[in-house]
Structure 1
Amino acid sequence: MPRGLFARSLLIIVAPLVLLQVIATWAFFDQHLSTVSRRLAQAVAGDIAVAIQLWNGAKDDADRQAALDQVGSALWMPLRFEPDAILSNEGNRRSSYVSRTMADAVREMVRRPAEIDDTNGERVHIAVQLPNGILHANVSRKRLFSASAYAFVLWMVGSSFILLTVAGLFMRNQIRPVQRLADAAERFGKGQGVGAFKPEGALEIRRASIEFLRMRERIQRQIHQRTEMLAGVSHDLRTPLTRLKLELAMLGASNDLEAAKADLVEMEGMLDAYLAFVRGEGGEESEEVDLVDLIQDLAAAYRRSGGEITLDLPESLRMVLRPMAIGRAITNLVGNAGKYARRSVVLSVQTQGGSALIHVDDDGPGIPEHQIEEVFRPFRRLSEARTLDGSASVGLGLTITRDLVRGHGGDVLLGKSPLGGLRATIRLPL
């Protein structure tokens, strides 16, 4: 069975039509053609039987020849008698439909041995064994076979082909709005702009397109509201935090004050992380960029900050994406790997099965397999050796990274690295 909607719809039209043609053709050939051909052959055999009767009733050879000439001229069937001749034992020269039908008719109407030879193009030769010789008859093939059978098949097949072509064109026009809807949904899932998408097609397809546009508006409105809400919360909390920092700075130095200042710094870092989490779904537009150039720029910035990184990249890989968002996701993974790598971080890119795979490998302690999904949960920090350092780390790094990548229709996967540590893989659809 075909998998595409157009092919399946066309098959629904073609299958009954072909089945109907097969049944109609079989019924025509089995009933009409065989009946017509049998009656035509019986008519010719009847003419030969009449000629034999006239031959037997004639008084002498002259009368016999006159009877044969008269019958042959009237029936457009030249007759000739070969005296003292005997039929061979070869039977019919060719076992065709015409010869078999004619042989059956001669046996039924004439009741004498006969040979049929239809190898001579437009004429069929019939030889009938008589007691004192052989009667030869040359019959036009048109008298034994109806050409309407071929005309019927040709007209049926030709008209069906024309109708199927017209139906295919109309069906393709009906499928095209479904393809446009699927393309729009795919672009939206990858975080790209849908553009001027207009509902078209049948009523059900228009309804699905309208619901898709409404869903897109609801999702965008929800993202915008969440971003604005957290931005407002952050702004409202920064003011009292700033006042507290000033008041603590004016009180002098003590152990308790230093602990309070550290708490304030941690709270400020948490607010920054909250904003970073929602800013990943912000309003950056997708554009076509060279992923290799983007990664090389990120690697250069990482080296300037004192980190070591090894690249294994193709010459070029152009993709449609949000460069700042993907750059931030890669930077998060590279920075996290750099904290635990004993030597350098290895970043490689490859394409596989219609996707671009960005691998970030390190030779650090890694993450236990049963805790891989745990690290993607918001505000989740592991207590093992892989725990993030720093007071401002609130467990949103990998959550933000996966959120950014999934906004492009991809995903982030964690697993065992060939270097012995952790492999973080960003999979993006091409």
Structure 2
Amino acid sequence: MILVVPLVLLQVISAFIFYEAHWDKVSKYLARGLAGDVGALVDMIRNDPSEDGLTRTFLISRQRFNMAASLRKGEILANNENIVEGSIPDPFLLSALDERVGLPYHILAPADKKTLTIEIQLSDGVLSVTALRKRLFSSTTYVFVLWMVGSSMLLFGVAIIFMRNQVRPIRRLAQAADAFGKRQNVERFKPEGAREVRQAATAFLKMKARIERQIEQRTHMLAGVSHDLRTPLTRMKLQLAMMGEEDDIKDLRDDIQEMEHMLEGYLDFVRGDGEEEPEDTNISQILTSIVQGIKRKDIPIDYENVEDVHLQVRPNAFKRCVTNLVENAARYGTHIWLSLEQRNEAIEVTVDDDGPGIPEDMREEVFKPFFRLDKSRNIQTGGVGLGLSIVRDVVRAHGGDIQLTTSPQGGLRARLRFPV
């Protein structure tokens, strides 16, 4: 649009100016010239109507004016009014004849001929003048249109080439930003293009480096925290194991187990799967393995799938994402329905249950880290409030999204949508 709209406007304005100014003036001059030649012949015949005078007049008309003229003596035009038969190339010819000749005339202009005939009513007969049509036509029209269109197309082609060269780095920057958002490798991206585009690309690379550095620092810190906490927890478990089976000891063991469970949840949420590379994965096989694991726990589950559905994902992250949803459905419901559908531009994984569901006004809140519907924080009635946060994080890292709705089975429906 940036290129086409100015060119079209330029064409329209140029054509308007040309036809309104140049074309009108040239057409008037040509029509007046032809009408003036016809008027000159009329004056010459009036001045010397003899046979010798007519012969000289017709010779001058043929040699000087490039027109064939003849006089039909004693004839009268069929109609004393001005008549035009056919189509004349220039409407200015009529007014020019009225101005330069001032006598009744007929114009015979058949469309299949290159000439036109003007018949003038004189006192002693009818003067017939045959002239070429091109006397009323200027070839500069075609030349002007050809130059205007040709130069515009040439400029348009050159502009397209330069514009494509400038747009290509912007597209690569957009692809790199999208790939980085999906935690894909963008090491081959480098700044190129115009100065402004290179500045944007350089800013993106600096931002990417800062984010990766922060993630790495966070991961290392949590790894150290995990190591530091596991060591005293292990010692506490060994000491409690040597103290017998008293009720207080059992409560302490449960507290330590809860701490370990919470610690694993925190680490899984913060660490993520950033080091895992995406690969072409058979989604059907992953879902089948999840279903088999659920069935081994004697949990009823129905599975509808499409065979050999492949998607570019991180296998472990994808499996953990779906497993979290299935385990949540198993925790709160008595029956699970899992389905896999492949549509035109996306792959959908749907998990339904017959549990109590989630209130509609809370369906966005449950994705917040550490948020639990059960305010008691009882580890037996749920996790630490990170399961759905991890699910959304994994899904959006793959360019998809998750939607929570009411299941037709009466519980909660979680639908994962991944673009192909």
What is the TM-score of this pair, normalised by structure 1? 0.90
For residues 3-402 of structure 1, the aligned pairs below 5 Å read: 11-58=1-48, 60-89=50-79, 91-98=83-90, 100-119=91-110, 120-342=112-334, 344-351=335-342, 354-383=345-374, 390=380, 393-402=383-392
1:393 deviates by 2.7
Partner Cα distance (1:309, 1:253) in 2: 38
What SS is found at the alignment partner of 2:418? strand
Q: 1:302-351: per-residue Cα shift (whole Å, max 9, x none)? A: 22333332122223332211110010010010111112323x31111234
Confirm or deny: 8 A CA contact 1:192 1:408 kept in the other structure. no
Larger deviation, residues 225-234 vs 171-180: 225-234
- Cα-Cα RMSD: 2.3
- Which protein, 1 or 2, shows the higher relative CO under an 8 Å CA cutoff with sep ≥ 6? 1
Confirm or deny: 8 A CA contact 1:269 1:392 kept in the other structure. no
Are the structure 2 counterparts of residues 103 and 88 from structure 1 closer, same or farther at C-alpha, using a change threshold of 3 Å? farther
1:66 deviates by 4.0
Q: 1:96-143: per-residue Cα shift (whole Å, max 9, x none)? A: 342x22222111011001122232532121111112321001112232
How many pairs does the alignment contain? Answer: 417
Partner Cα distance (2:24, 2:372) in 1: 87
Give percent identity, aligned residues only. 45
Confirm or deny: 8 A CA contact 1:125 1:139 kept in the other structure. yes
Partner Cα distance (2:25, 2:305) in 1: 77
Partner Cα distance (1:242, 1:391) in 2: 25
Are the structure 2 counterparts of residues 257 and 293 from structure 1 closer, same or farther at C-alpha, using a change threshold of 3 Å? closer
Q: Which amino acid aligns with 1:191?
A: R
Are the structure 2 counterparts of residues 336 and 95 from structure 1 closer, same or farther at C-alpha, using a change threshold of 3 Å? same
Confirm or deny: 8 A CA contact 2:89 2:133 kept in the other structure. no
Partner Cα distance (2:229, 2:363) in 1: 33
Partner Cα distance (2:381, 2:9) in 1: 75
Q: 1:382-427: per-residue Cα shift (whole Å, max 9, x none)? A: 2389x98628832222222222222223333222001110111222
Are the structure 2 counterparts of residues 255 and 60 from structure 1 closer, same or farther at C-alpha, using a change threshold of 3 Å? closer
Q: 1:189-223: per-residue Cα shift (whole Å, max 9, x none)? A: 12222241111111111111111112222222222
Confirm or deny: 8 A CA contact 1:81 1:134 kept in the other structure. yes
Are the structure 2 counterparts of residues 378 and 73 from structure 1 closer, same or farther at C-alpha, using a change threshold of 3 Å? closer
Partner Cα distance (1:391, 1:69) in 2: 118
What SS is found at the alignment partner of 1:134? strand
Confirm or deny: 8 A CA contact 1:270 1:392 kept in the other structure. no
Confirm or deny: 8 A CA contact 2:306 2:342 kept in the other structure. no
Q: Which amino acid aligns with 1:381?
A: R
Q: Runs of 5+ in structure 1 lacking a partner?
A: 1-10
Are the structure 2 counterparts of residues 382 and 122 from structure 1 closer, same or farther at C-alpha, using a change threshold of 3 Å? same
Partner Cα distance (2:209, 2:286) in 1: 31
Confirm or deny: 8 A CA contact 2:183 2:274 kept in the other structure. no
Q: Which amino acid aligns with 1:250?
A: M
Partner Cα distance (1:331, 1:399) in 2: 13
What SS is found at the alignment partner of 1:275? helix
Confirm or deny: 8 A CA contact 2:349 2:415 kept in the other structure. yes
Are the structure 2 counterparts of residues 389 and 112 from structure 1 closer, same or farther at C-alpha, using a change threshold of 3 Å? same
What SS is found at the alignment partner of 1:358? strand
Partner Cα distance (1:336, 1:126) in 2: 98
Q: 1:39-77: per-residue Cα shift (whole Å, max 9, x none)? A: 222222222222222212225345434433343333221
Partner Cα distance (2:134, 2:362) in 1: 87
Partner Cα distance (1:194, 1:91) in 2: 80
Structure 2 match to 1:403: 393
Are the structure 2 counterparts of residues 384 and 267 from structure 1 closer, same or farther at C-alpha, using a change threshold of 3 Å? closer
Q: Which amino acid aligns with 2:94?
A: A
What SS is found at the alignment partner of 2:106? strand
Confirm or deny: 8 A CA contact 2:58 2:69 kept in the other structure. yes
Structure 2 match to 1:412: 402
Are the structure 2 counterparts of residues 375 and 41 from structure 1 closer, same or farther at C-alpha, using a change threshold of 3 Å? closer
